[in-house]
Amino acid sequence: MRKAADGDCRRAKGQPDRLGHFINGLGRGGAGALLFGIPMLMTMEMWSLGFYIARERLLVLLIALLPLLVLLARRIGFERVSSWREAGRDAIVAYGIGISASAIVLLTLGLITGHMSAHEIVGKIAIQSAPASIGAMLGRSQLANRTGDGSGETEIETSYGGELLLMATGALFLSLNIAPTDEIMVLVYKMTLWHILAVALLSMALMHGFVYAVSFTGGHELSAGTPAWHAFVRFTLPGYVVALAVSFAALWIFERLDDRSALETLSCMIVLGFPAAIGAAAARLIL
């Protein structure tokens, strides 16, 4: 989808066009941040998390987000990027859009007021900026009009590690939406271990089905002669492990695992792993 020649061509047209293009990208980023961030911005648990979340866990979230954003930028940046440096720039811009969009919406909804401590305000905005910045990045790819660049050789290769990181991003996005709510805990309390087991198997089946069996645009095909179980072992199983790891991280960040036995922790991971697995599979389709 990306061509080096495309960038050169645009550069030749001069500054005003580049600026317009960039502002266009910013607008799409803002729209994406709102579109993908609104569910979390309007979740009650997220408002209170802003002041009680442990700062070191928030820091982990904010730092872990950066490499994921850079990778996303590399795939679907605001402009067609050809170097990691440009991807880094796009990632920071998306982060900035995420922070601004969160701040504006929280202010408008009356969730940030003058008598709150700076600690609380910063916490609230910071935690919302994570999904909003992923949304800002996705806005570029999902809201862009794709006309005018369909010609020519459009082939990219994603390394295996990149593919797993993409899955992690998709998993993180959906986990972030669901981990802070109480529903995960309530579900775990109500479910028996047999239910948990069924959810684990269903997650893996859906992950594999989404990417290989169902013929979505962006679905993956196997080269002729490759048995189906190859893809299951090489992509779906590692993808599910990535989804579970991300779900563990999200639960840890939102302090859902403190003082819990190992089996309870695993149950929580698997229940949150269900949306995470769907997010991971969707990331492979969409991006």
Partner 1 sequence: MTRTTEGRHRERHDPHWIEWRTGCISALLVTAMIGWIAYEAVTRQETPPELVVTAGRSEAVAGGYRVPFEISNRAPTTAANVMIIGRLAENGRTIEESQVLLDYVAAESRSAGALLFAENPAGRTLDIRPVGYTDP
Q: Given the complex with partner 1, which of 129 and 203 has the nearer CB atom? A: 203
To partner 1, the closest distance from the beta carbon of 101 in angstroms equals 29
SS3 string of 113-136? CCCCCHHHHHHHHHHHHHHHHHHH
What tokens were used for 33? Answer: 């941040």
Q: How far is CA 205 from CA 61, 214, 274, in A?
A: 29, 12, 11
Min dist CB 263 to partner 1, Å, is 6
Identify which of residues 37 and 170 has a Cβ nearer to partner 1 in the complex.
170
Helix or strand run (H / E) with residue 259? none
CB of 173 to partner 1, least distance (A): 19
Q: How far is the CB of 236 from partner 1 (least distance, A)?
A: 9
Shortest Å distance, C-beta 199 to partner 1: 10
Choice between 70 and 211, CB closer to partner 1: 211
* 16-27 as b/e: b if 16+ CB within 10 A: eeeeeeeeebbe
Residues in touch with partner 1 (CB under 8 A): 1, 154-160, 163-164, 185-186, 188-190, 192-194, 196-197, 200-201, 204, 217-223, 225-226, 230-231, 233-235, 237-238, 240-241, 244, 259-261, 263-264, 266-267, 270, 284
Instruction: Output 88 or 238, the one with its CB closest to partner 1.
Output: 238
Handedness of CA 280, 285, 286, 287 (dihedral sign): positive
The single-letter DSSP state of residue 223 is: P
Return the number of the residue (83 or 154) whose C-beta is nearest partner 1: 154
The residue among 105, 109, 98 whose CA lies nearest residue 72 is 98
